[in-house]
Chain A
Amino acid sequence: MAQPARSSRIGEPVRRKEDLRLITGAGCFSDDVSLPGQAYAVMVRSPHAHARLRSIDAGKALTVPGVIAVLTGHDLLADGLKPIPHRPFSPHPADIPLANTDGTPMFTAPHHALVIDKVRHVGEALAMVIAETIAAAKDGAEAVEVDYELLPAVANTAAAARPDAPRLFENARSNVCLDAEAGDGKATAAAFACAAHVVRFETWIPRVTGVPMEPRAAVGAYDASIGHYTLHAGTSGAWRTKMDLAIMLGVAEDAVRVVTRDVGGHFGTRGMLYAEFALVVWAARRAGRPVKWTCERHEAFATDYQGRDLVVEAELALDKDGRFLAMRGSNISNAGGHTTNFSPLRKGVEIMSTIYRVPAAHFRARGIVSNTAPTRPYRSSGRPEVIYVMERLIDLAARQCGFDRVELRRRNLVTAAEMPYTNPFGMIYDSGDYPGVMEKALTLGDWAGFPARRAEARARGKCRGIGVANYVDTASGVPRERAEMTVHPDGTVDVIIGTVSTGQGHETSFAQLVTEWLGVPFDKVRILTGDTEFVRFGGGTHSGRGMRLASIVIWGASRKIIEKGKRIAALLLECEPGTVEFRDGLFARPGAGRTVSLFDVARGARDLLDLSQDLRGPLAAIADETVSVAQFPYGCQVAEVEIDPELGTLEIVRYTAVDDVGRAVNPAIIHGQVHGGIAQGVGQALLEQCYYDPDTGQLLSGSFMDYAMPRADNFPFFNTEYVEIPSPTHPLGMRPAGEGGTAPALGVMINAIADALSEFGVRHVEMPATPERIWRAIREARGSAGERRR
């Protein structure tokens, strides 16, 4: 790093604690766990996207040497396993509610861990083969005979929403599970009626997938003597997984333990329990021995929870000076083969107007199912999609109506004076200097110097374009978090917390908080997570809630410890508790020059015999808080691309990002989050797509041979900076930094591409903006220009 840390306190780029094990190969990821006597599971997966399951014949499979058992959906029902307890919306009060306009309840259907009657996407598991080795289990899986009745499939989002589309659930009226409205239809219509300009944009933000580098793996164990299940698996929060497992197994919460150690990436994909997690613990009970399952990458492409997939039609109304008057349109979100989650639909539509002053808005919001893998929130859930739509609308408006695109943004950005600002869907943005951050990004990205760079590029035969995009991100998610902090007399501090680091470096940044607030050595702070044996509650890691909520509960627990510590210190220092001061890990009696350390006090709490009941015992505190306000991180990105017009290939030549993080705990980690977020957003804009054949639902991008992952040579170095304008709705002023890299990246990339191609008259390029799409856009624009000339 450029600047070494000067201390281990808040604001310093402290080297990560977790790195020592990870760089030496001593980490413990899910597949690194093996239990004595374990058997291996392999899933029998459907090659069809939509089919009725007539029968499964395991006879031949059971004769394969090494095969122990073949379990099907009927075995699962017979054992009373419940469906996966999906929650279509996360329960945060700051998000707007979405409900069917006609008053009927939203359609949901049970999602069993193994198919019972009907396959709804390619790769769905029908049966599980348990064997002595993985190879034997695979042989067994191949020998399972399945009789399917093939049904017409629908994979495409817009097609699946039509009333005559093949229907996934017979008991539903259509594939549309939720048909809601957001905003004010009347006010919006009135505003459109007096608009000087109306700009229209229709687009599809395609399906992508999170692709954590660690494929899922799970080891299940069952202790028959006490009826207790243990799952070892990578999750985004062990506690929630445990609760969901208990529901599925139909057992008491204390009959289940979930252990999560190192997790090789998450990005939303691990936000909900997976079928296989329940299957391995159930199989362990059936087999009388531990059962391990390791996902292969091709299975991950077919069965990891995927993301995005939103069809949008949007219109923006402007007055003659370019002031935004209103916006309206429709969003259709594709949940895939089960009614897993409609949170991205809500997370998007509620900030459709993003960071701009839009007095009126109205959107129809539909959630549908289709014959594709289920989806869930994926990095910055729902926001990158709508930010892309808004940022494209602005650039299209500028082009169509003759405004400067930066000036148009300046004119319409919500200002600090308008805060807190209620957007037209009812979301209350807490604070921020939106215009200031955009100006900072434009300066860092040298917007002013762009014409010269474009001219220089043109001399080399390249079309250079620049784009800008602002974002706002609603950080909500599970609102409750809990920290349990103990100061030990041996000079260590333990913090038990319910979030799990999936790469964010919690062991480091949370320890920095403790070092800051308790004044104890950074190396002596242990952050303990991921094992429900000691984690009593935890909301998990998502929605920018790791540091945001951890800081609140660690702060709360720290204060309690200091308060309690002062009372004990008063006894040791022989003074009134009210006079004791605490600083840098020491309790002091003012004026007397006498101090005792936090650890002395911890020893006192253990050893002193004359302590009152409430002070006796370990020096520990619990903070358990529910935070019902959301934070609103925001920022701006500026990107520059060069396009080779003959081939349509593209190079990103400059990339600038500025984020308001409120208060930075570890700058190195924050920049890292932004870098990675940018790469994920750019990946979607340029490269990635879960490509389903629209008619058959076959997944044609089922491996790294066909799913284009961003690699090192797709990027330049990024120029990232942050500002720290404290959030008034967070007690410590923090704003999450994990999603900001991704949120504006789709929009900024497509804006830059459209700008590069503007000389040909190209209006827009859909995502992923592949070389062929760019090449076609140029060709078609040239063709139509030729038409016009004739």
Chain B
Amino acid sequence: MTRVSLTVNGQRVSAEVEGRTLLVQLLREHLRLTGTHVGCDTSQCGCCTVHLNGKGVKSCTVLAASCEGATVTTIEGLAPEGKLHPMQEAFREHHALQCGFCTPGMIMSAVDMVRRKGNELDEHTVREQLEGNICRCTGYHNIVKAIQAGAVAMKRT
């Protein structure tokens, strides 16, 4: 067991983890941040996407022990308590979710996309950059629209 200390959603936390403990397990099981989901075992679906030191990663493919000193943001910490991030707002406005299971990962991935690609995202870019996130409900139509709108809204705020 190793002790790992990191900042999650602005809070300093530390936990005893095994070498094999994944970041997503640390978040879901140790910290009970269950908004980050596990949808696969091959790092394909993106349901577990969080921001690690400001960049989008699949938390099912990151060892918790490797996050010593890191800063992690999950869907629960994307916006201040009681507020919505513009990307969350856009997903709601555009009906970009149905069952909602892939949604936290989609939103975290979308915010990372804006970091990498800017606020003016054409349809092709969004679709291409969404390669790491799978949704089964929406056919992606409204997700793409929401990300485009959310990216613009992020510029305003």
Contacts and interface: CB of A to CB of B under 8 A. Distances in A.
Contact of B142 (A503, A504, A675): A675
Contact of B134 (A16, A31, A267, A711): A711
A213 interface: yes
Nearest to B128: A713
Nearest to A713: B127
B95 A213 contact: no
Contact of B41 (A26, A297, A677, A711): A297
Interface stretch (A80-88, A404-412, A702-710): A702-710
B98 A505 contact: yes
Interface string A750-772: 00000000000000000000000
Interface residues of B, number: 54
B116 interface: no
A16 B92 contact: yes
A298 B36 contact: no
B138 A25 contact: no
Nearest to A502: B99
Contact of B35 (A25, A215, A678, A709): A25
A1 B139 contact: no
A22 interface: yes
B38 to A, nearest CB: 7
Contacts of A20: 92
A215 B38 contact: yes
Interface of B is mostly: loop
A233 B93 CA distance: 29
B91 to A, nearest CB: 5
Given A213-B134, A214-B37, A15 B128 contact: no
A503 B98 contact: yes
B117 interface: no
Given A264-B101, A265-B136, A25 B131 contact: no
A444 to B, nearest CB: 16
A124 interface: no
A214 B99 CA distance: 9
Contacts of B142: 671-672, 675
Contacts of A114: none
Contacts of A715: 127, 139-141
A369 interface: no
Contacts of A741: 139
Interface string B101-120: 11110010000000000000
Nearest to B132: A711
Interface string B36-65: 111111101101000000000000000000
A393 interface: no
Nearest to A27: B100
A264 B126 contact: no
Q: Which of B79, B93, B103, B141 has the most CB atoms of chain A within a 10 A radius of its CB? A: B141
Contacts of A679: 136, 138-140
A23 B134 contact: no
B52 to A, nearest CB: 16
A712 interface: yes
Contacts of B13: none
A497 B47 CA distance: 30
B21 to A, nearest CB: 10
A778 interface: no
A705 B93 contact: no
- Chain A's interface size range is 35 or more
Interface string A210-224: 111111000000000
B92 A212 contact: no
Interface in A5-29: 13, 15-16, 18-20, 22-29
A704 B42 contact: yes
A676 B97 contact: no
B141 A704 contact: no
B100 A718 contact: no
A32 interface: yes
Given A669-B95, A676-B136, A709-B134, A296 B76 contact: no
B153 interface: no
B76 A24 contact: yes
B121 interface: no
B139 A675 contact: yes
A213 B139 contact: no
A680 B137 CA distance: 8
B44 A676 contact: no
Given A24-B35, A675-B142, A29 B42 contact: no
Nearest to A266: B99
A699 to B, nearest CB: 15
A686 interface: no
Given A213-B134, A297-B42, A712-B130, 8 more contacts: A20-B92, A22-B97, A210-B136, A214-B39, A264-B102, A703-B40, A710-B139, A715-B140
Interface of B: 20, 28, 33-42, 44-45, 47, 74-76, 79, 84, 88, 91-95, 97-104, 107, 123, 126-128, 130-131, 133-145
Interface of A: 1, 13, 15-16, 18-20, 22-29, 31-32, 135, 210-215, 262-267, 296-298, 502-505, 668-669, 671-673, 675-680, 703-705, 709-713, 715, 717-718, 741
User: Which 4 A-B pairs give the minimum distances between C-beta atoms?
Assistant: A25-B35, A264-B101, A22-B100, A503-B99
26 contacts: A19-B91, A23-B88, A25-B36, A25-B75, A27-B101, A28-B34, A31-B28, A31-B34, A263-B99, A264-B39, A265-B136, A502-B99, A503-B100, A668-B95, A669-B95, A671-B141, A673-B98, A676-B137, A676-B138, A678-B139, A679-B136, A679-B140, A712-B128, A712-B130, A713-B127, A718-B139
